Structure 1
Amino acid sequence: MGRAKNSSEFSIFYLIASILTWILTVGWMLLIFYLSSENGSDSTMRSSEFVVYINQNFGIEITEMIVRKSTHIIEFTVLTLLTFLSIRFTNMISPHTAYSESPVKMIKSDNELYIALTLWFTVLFSVLDEYHQLFVTGRSGSILDVCIDLIGIVVMLLIIRLVFTLYLIKLGKSEVRYD
């Protein structure tokens, strides 16, 4: 269960993990798209109901704006994790799919490339999500919302980087770097 041992083998574990994480990633993207497709009044009603529930059941006074912006952060934090895992598992199916032969020499390891690709993918989706909202009745696209999405993206990428670094320290290894 891991990377293939010789060049003719591939890892069934990573193939299955890759398929499952890509299904989850696309499913999460569809959920974000669905929520963005709600017209303004439906979206406002959903947020208002959640605010009332939180205020009544937890005794916390929150506003609809806090709920809406927190939702942006949470949506893109989850999307970032799913995307990172999808890219990582896809790369690990076969030793021949390693990104180490990338022409981008600024990137020094597979992990850095996974992070860069995840950042690119999730920011692009955030921009497309806001663009899509320009065409939904009662909604508007906002650069500010892209920046709020970016908070969730960056926080998750920092957590991923920290976990990876701590894992390597625990193993007594250093990150494999390309020449």
Structure 2
Amino acid sequence: MIKDIINNAESKMKKTVSVLTSDLSTMKAGRANPTMLDRIFVDYYGSQCQLSQVANISAPEARMLVITPWEKPLLKEIEKAILKSDLGINPSSDGSVIRLLVPELTEETRKKLVKNVKSVGEEAKIAIRSIRRDANEKIKALKKDGHLSDDEVKKAEEGVQKKTDLFVKEIDGIIVAKEKEIMSI
């Protein structure tokens, strides 16, 4: 029972770290990265589709993305979706492909991005601590029902805390790495 609770908590913590990594990869950091466009959805014959599902996205240069729609009529829809997004990049089209030039980051923009990265990281840590709290509550409920002794509860809570510390440390490392990436571009 205790192992299941700890394994379940660990699995949720891994998922939290995975979501954090995914979220950080979509933040623009001065380099062209196709994952920047993961949050952009295009109107495709009445339904919303992710941009990567209706076009090929490549980064031929460090600061340029090239979007080649699989169907020419989608060109205008893709441009509209990019303009509506929070990217802050103006698309330029030549009738067959769309080019996005990722602007160089100013010092002020870098600082804002780092602040945003720290905020996203803190949200992930809060999620990890929430998972810990839920696991500890389940452990205490088992004790209350008479399934565990005080020593077993203490040992189980220590196990959950070790997992929590491990994942918080991993999140800190991810945040520091992203900050260095942003500030060194």
Name which structure has the greater RCO, CA cutoff 8 Å, separation 6+.
Answer: 1
With normalisation by structure 1, the TM-score equals 0.39
- The structure with the largest helix share of the pair is 1
With normalisation by structure 2, the TM-score equals 0.38
